[in-house]
Structure 1
Amino acid sequence: MTFSLPPEAAQWRDKVRQFVDSELQPFELEAEMHEGRIPEAARKAHEKTCIAMGVTRMDVPKERGGLALPILTQTAIVEQFGRVTNALGWCYGEAQGWMFEAFNEEQVARIVMPVTRGEIHLCYAITEENAGSDPGAIATEARRKGDSYFISGEKWHVTSHNLASHMIVQAKLGGGEHEGEHCLFVCRADAPGVSIARSPAYTHNYNHHHPVLRFDNVEVPLHDRIGAEGDGMGFTHSWFRRERLMIAARCCGAMARLIEEASEFAKMRVVSGQPIADYQMIQAMLADSVLDLHAARLLTYEAAAEHDRGCDLKSLHARCSIAKLFASEAAFRVADRAVQIFGGRGYMRENVAERFLREVRVDRIWEGTSEIQRLIIARSLLKRGLEGTIGPN
Structure 2
Amino acid sequence: MSFHLPPSALDWQAKVRAFVDEELIPWEIEAEMNGGEIPPDVAARHERIAIGLGLSRMDVPVAYGGLAAPVLDQVVAAEQIGRVTNALGWCYPEAQGWMFEACSADQLERFVLPMMRGERHFCYAITEEGAGSNVDDIVATARRDGGDYVIDAVKWHVTSANLADTILVQAKMAEGRNAGTHGLFFVEADATGISTVRNPAYSHTYRHHHPILRFDGVRVPAANLIGREGEGMDFTYAWFRRERLMIAARACGAAERLIEEARAFAATRVVGGVPIAEHQLVQAMLADSVVDLHAARLVTYEAAAAHDRGLDVKALHARCSIAKLLASEAAGRIADRAVQIFGGRGYMRENVAERFLRELRVDRIWEGTSEIQRLIIANGLMKRGLAGTIGAS
TM superposition score category, shorter chain reference: over 0.9
Q: Shift in Å at residue 2 of structure 1?
A: 5.6
Contact kept? 2:2, 2:298, Cα under 8 Å:
no
> Equivalent residue for 2:173?
173
How far apart are the structure 2 equivalents of 1:213 and 1:231? 23
> Which position in structure 2 is the counterpart of 1:190?
190
The aligned amino acid for 2:205 is N
- State yes or no: 1:305 paired with 2:313: no
Q: How many residues align?
A: 393
Q: State the alpha-carbon separation in 1 of the partners of residues 100 and 253 from structure 2.
A: 28
The answer as to whether partners of 2:332 and 2:357 remain within 8 angstroms in 1 is yes
Which residue is equivalent to 2:334? 334
| Cα distance, 1:190 vs structure 2 | 1.8
Cα offset, 1:57, TM superposition: 0.7
Q: Which residue of 2 aligns with 1:96?
A: 96
1:21-40 matched pairs, under 5 angstroms: 21-40=21-40
Counterpart in 2 of 1:364? 364
Q: Residue 134 of structure 2 aligns to which amino acid in structure 1?
A: D
Which amino acid in 1 is paired with 2:211?
A: P
Deviates more, 1:1-10 or 1:323-332: 1-10
Query: Counterpart in 1 of 2:152?
Result: 152
2: CA distance between counterparts of 1:293 and 1:384? 28
Give per-residue Cα distances to partners, 1:130-161, cap 9 Å, x unaligned: 10000011000000011100000100000000
Structure 1: distance between partners of 2:379 and 2:231: 23
Report if aligned partners of 2:381, 2:389 keep a CA contact under 8 Å in 1.
yes
- Answer yes or no: is 1:78 the counterpart of 2:78: yes
Deviations 1:331-375 (A, max 9, x none): 000000000000000000000000000000000000000000000
User: Between the two proteins, what is the percent identity of the paired residues?
Assistant: 66
Gaps of 5+ in 1: none
Hey, what's the Cα distance between the residues in 2 that align with 1:221 and 1:369? 34
CA pair 2-343 structure 1, distance change in 2 beyond 3 A: closer
TM-score, normalised with respect to structure 1: 0.99
Trace 1:61-72 onto structure 2 (pairs within 5 A). Answer: 61-72=61-72
Per-residue deviation, residues 146-181 of structure 1 (Å, max 9, x unmatched): 110000010000000000010000000011110000
Q: Look up the match of 2:210.
A: 210
Kindly indicate whether residue 229 of structure 2 is the aligned counterpart of residue 229 of structure 1: yes
Report the Cα distance in structure 1 between the residues aligned to 2:128 and 2:305, rounded to whole angstroms: 33
1-side partners of 2:209 and 2:190: how far apart?
15
Q: Shift of residue 388 of structure 1? A: 0.6
Equivalent-residue separation in structure 2 for 1:131 and 1:167 (angstroms): 18
1:4 CA drift (Å) = 1.2
The one-letter amino acid of 1:345's match is R
- Relative to structure 1, the CA distance from residue 283 to residue 2 in structure 2 (aligned partners, 3 Å threshold; closer, same or farther) is closer
The alignment's TM-score, normalised by the length of structure 2, stands at: 0.99
The residue identity in structure 2 corresponding to 1:157 is H
Q: Secondary structure of 1:89's partner?
A: coil
Q: Which amino acid aligns with 2:85?
A: T
> Residue 237 of structure 2 aligns to a residue in which SS?
helix
3-state SS of the aligned residue for 1:98? Answer: helix
Distance 2:53 2:14 in 1: 12
Partners of 2:312 and 2:55 lie apart in 1 by 27
In the alignment, the residues of structure 1 paired with residue 388 and residue 43 of structure 2 have an alpha-carbon distance, to the nearest angstrom, of 44
Match of 1:352 in 2: 352
- In the alignment, structure 2 segments of 5+ residues that lack a partner are none
Q: Distance in 2 between matches of 1:243 and 1:389?
A: 19
Take 2:55 and 2:384, find their aligned partners in 1: how far apart are those partners?
Answer: 36
Instruction: Give the corresponding residue for 1:6.
Output: 6
Matches within 5 A, 1:122-133: 122-133=122-133
**For residue 199 of structure 1, what is the aligned residue in structure 2?**
199
Tell me the amino acid that sits aligned with residue 324 of structure 1.
K
Aligned to 2:162: 162
Matched to 1:290, the amino acid is V
Other-structure match for 1:255:
255
Structure 2 CA distance for aligned equivalents of residues 164 and 242 of structure 1: 20
Give, in angstroms, the shift of residue 278 of structure 1: 0.6
